[in-house]
Amino acid sequence: MKNFSTKALALVLWSVIFSFGGCAVMDKNIPGWSQYRNPDKVNELQLASSSIGEGNPVLLIHGFGASSYSWRHIIAPLAQKYRVITIDLKGFGESPKPRDDLYSVYEQARLVRNFILENDLQNVHIIGHSYGGGVALVTSVYLAASHPNLQNSLVLMDSIAYPQDLPDFVEVLATPGLGPLIIYAIPNTIQVKSLLKKVYFNDALIPQSAIDHYAGNLDKPNAKYATLTTARQMLPTDLQQFSNNYASLTIPTLIIWSKDDEIVPLEIGERLHADLPNSKMVVLNDVGHAIQEEQPSLLLPYLQQFLDAGTHRTAPNSK
């Protein structure tokens, strides 16, 4: 009875907080694009990674609060033709979680760009989801400026890209006082299950194994610190100015979006499609924000067809 009461109280608190929202404060003192434009080539930390298969590399970049685990359903199918590389972003999964203030997409992309250079990834296809899509965009801008022949193509899935209203759970985590209260007071499994209900279109498809895995990740040392810091730095204050770089990205790009995405709205994807000169867009119905977890069989044919066609660069298409 005691455990039930504790869980019930946590659920009520979680629901009330989401109903009222928070007053998120984005970190305004973190370095912006002007400071990151010419990054150093040495990483102070090593991102956790794994690799399977042979062929041109396909680098998978997960979203906020996730890890390489989020790609579990599509790794083996893609590895039949490609060398599939998964990484855990700084602060997530098995990667280091230093207690510093550098968790923006610019910092993450600097680490990913250096990972690509250090591992000599030639003709790399980069696939990014959500927050990881923002990281993939910045990484692609880096590579286009300094190593334009390294990247073969780009896939963006329900990706952050422009200033937008934060999802309610990110706003809560980014709110001073409230964010730490929530992430440390409410049991991990309740937090994760509540968030996955916003990520999935069909809640019945949420596996208990995923809840347990992500809840376990939150138990790692400094994981909650990294989550809170990333939430505050989710959207750089100069993101609108940075988005001017998108028009110069001429690599073939596939944009995949859920029509019913509650996290990053479809209009963000449509704007990306208009700004990226060599992009194609696919809009999927009856699936949520994390297509690769909820309906991987729906996603895979589009990925495989795009990757298979991407052996050579193509000229920007007309729109």
The string of pLDDT tens digits covering residues 188-209 is 999 999 999 999 999 999 999 9
* Sign for the pseudo-dihedral over CA of 299, 305, 311, 314: negative
Which one is predicted more confidently, 134 or 7? Answer: 134
Query: What's the pLDDT at 24?
Result: 54
Neighbours of 212 (CB within 10 A): 13
Query: If residue 267 lies in a helix (H) or strand (E), which one and from where to where?
Result: helix 266-275
CB 103 within 8 A of CB 230: yes
Residue 312 reports pLDDT greater than 80: no
Residue 212 reports pLDDT greater than 80: yes
Q: Which residues contact 301 (CB under 8 A, 6 or more apart)?
A: none
User: DSSP assignment, residue 165?
Assistant: P
3-state secondary structure 24-41: CCCCCCCCCHHHHCCCCC
Distance (Å, whole) CA 97 – CA 103: 10
- How many residues make up the chain in this entry? 319
* Token digits of residue 226: 């990294």
Distance (Å, whole) CA 129 – CA 61: 6
* Token digits of residue 277: 């000169």
pLDDT above 90 as % of the chain: 79
Closest alpha carbon to 104 in 25, 170, 183, 36:
36
DSSP code per residue over 37-94: SS--S--SS---EEEES-SSEEEEE--TT--GGGGTTTHHHHTTTSEEEEEPPTTSTT
Query: What's the pLDDT at 15?
Result: 54
Instruction: Domain 48-308: give its CATH code.
Output: 3.40.50.1820
Q: In this structure, are strands 253-258 and 279-284 parallel, antiparallel, or unpaired?
A: parallel
pTM: 0.91
Query: What's the pLDDT at 25?
Result: 54
pLDDT above 70 as % of the chain: 87
Distance (Å, whole) CA 274 – CA 286: 24
Question: Cβ-count burial of 72 within 10 angstroms (0-12 exposed, 13-18 middle, 19+ buried)?
Answer: middle
Domain extents in the chain: 48-308
